[in-house]
Amino acid sequence: MSNDPVIEISPRVRFGHPHLRGIPTDAVAGMVWAGEAVETVCDEYDMTRHEVLLCCWWEGSQGEYRRQWKTWATEAQPMLGGWVKPFDLAAIPDPPSRAEMGETARR
């Protein structure tokens, strides 16, 4: 069995909304989008960098931040999925924040 983090969707947890260990993926991604450093989000939710990036990837590929993070999510997917060997978590860039993308309008 793998120790890799897993995004889960279960009607019994969060009414079927995606989560990682019960933590909403949109809440994690929302903090990063708002400009919080990934390390700060890790500390806030007691998550690893891998887990935070996976939540952001989910929201950037299928969730709340599809429009904003589509390019980042597409580029990060092979690395987060472990398809690029050796797996180097440090090589995955952080998703951009609203300020970095020059977004002034709300989602």
**pLDDT higher for 107 or 63?**
63
pLDDT tens for 29-83 read 999 999 999 999 999 999 999 999 999 999 999 988 999 999 999 999 998 887 8
pTM over 0.85? The answer is yes
Dihedral-angle region of residue 16 (phi above 0 means left; psi in -120 to 50 means alpha; beta otherwise): left
Angle between helices 38-45 and 25-33 (to 10 degrees): 150
Is there a contact between 81 and 92 (Cβ–Cβ < 8 Å)? no
Q: Where are the domains of the chain?
A: 14-101
What's residue 104's pLDDT? 57
